[in-house]
Amino acid sequence: MNSAFPTILGCLVLFSVLENLFPFFTFKQSWTSRISTNFAIGLLNAAITYLVFAALSKWVFPPIHWSGLFHGIQPHWLVGIISFLLLDIYRYGWHVLMHMSSLGWRFHRVHHTERTMNISTAYRFHFLEVICSNFPRVFLIWLFGINPVCVFIYDVAFAAIQVFQHSNWAVPLNVDKVLTYFIITPNFHRVHHSQIVKETNSNYGSVLSVWDRLFGTFRYIRHPQTIKIGLSEEPRQLNLLDLLTLPF
Ligand SMILES: [Zn+2]
């Protein structure tokens, strides 16, 4: 985590500069309200998740000696690629679940209430969604015995692409379109944040776009400037307390 921090900070600075120099949507962003709220909830999520899993690993999780399904399998580079794909398809599946289940949506809609998008939107999640999303992930890592280096590489890629895809950077359309053959881009993810429900229920990928293409949830629209971001039923600008209590 500590060694990933410079990369994450670097991405935040880079995409912050780019989205301010080359904005996609032009709107006045209030650094004292929306952006600070998103960063505050992001820090809260990181702190609570760290404390919960530190406590669970110390007092609750039993010390089961198990090397994992990948134990002894070679070549290591292939196991590394498969590990990356497993971690990413898990994120895809979790995101679909958050949209398809009424309970999941109660919490995940916190993320979708943002009426603009910028780098801070990447951190706007309810802490219960963040904590719950980590339980199956920890089990997946344990079951397959995914190497901590692979987990680290995936987590750095995830953190970087999350900031990139939520940024308000106007990536040239042709470049954005080519990139969507591999990774999640800002235009691709703007469709997911659209107020139109059938557009919200598409483009669930986190790092790689292959899962949306494979499972038929890929959607790319020609004129992303026309997208209205947010939830039509939630026009308010929500503060930190509003976001924490929204699911209830
Ligand atoms: Zn979503």
Q: How far is the CA of 47 from the centre of ligand 1 (A)?
A: 22
Rg for the chain (alpha carbons), in Å? 18
pLDDT greater at residue 191 or residue 52: 191
Q: How far is the CA of 75 from the centre of ligand 1 (A)?
A: 35
Q: pLDDT per residue over 218-231, tens digit each? A: 998 888 889 999 99
Q: With bands split at pLDDT 50, 70 and 90, how would you rate the model's confidence at 122?
A: very high
Q: How is residue 131 written in tokens?
A: 């904590």
* Domain region containing 179: 5-22+31-61+68-245
Measuring CA to CA, how many Å separate 4 from each of 41, 52, 124? 20, 20, 20
Q: How far is the CA of 192 from the centre of ligand 1 (A)?
A: 7
Percent of the chain at pLDDT > 70 equals 94
The residues with which 194 forms a beta bridge, in sequence order, are 229
Percent of the chain at pLDDT > 90 equals 71
Other beta carbons within 10 angstroms of residue 33's beta carbon come to 12
Q: pLDDT per residue over 175-187, tens digit each? A: 999 999 999 999 9
Number of domains in the chain: 1
Q: How far is the CA of 243 from the centre of ligand 1 (A)?
A: 15
pTM comes to: 0.91
The predicted structure's pLDDT at residue 29: 60
Average pLDDT over the chain reads 90
Q: How far is the CA of 244 from the centre of ligand 1 (A)?
A: 17
Other beta carbons within 10 angstroms of residue 242's beta carbon come to 14
Q: pLDDT per residue over 47-93, tens digit each? A: 998 898 888 877 766 666 778 898 888 899 999 999 999 999 999 99
Q: How far is the CA of 7 from the centre of ligand 1 (A)?
A: 24
Match 């397959």 to its residue by tokens: 144
Q: With bands split at pLDDT 50, 70 and 90, how would you rate the model's confidence at 150?
A: very high
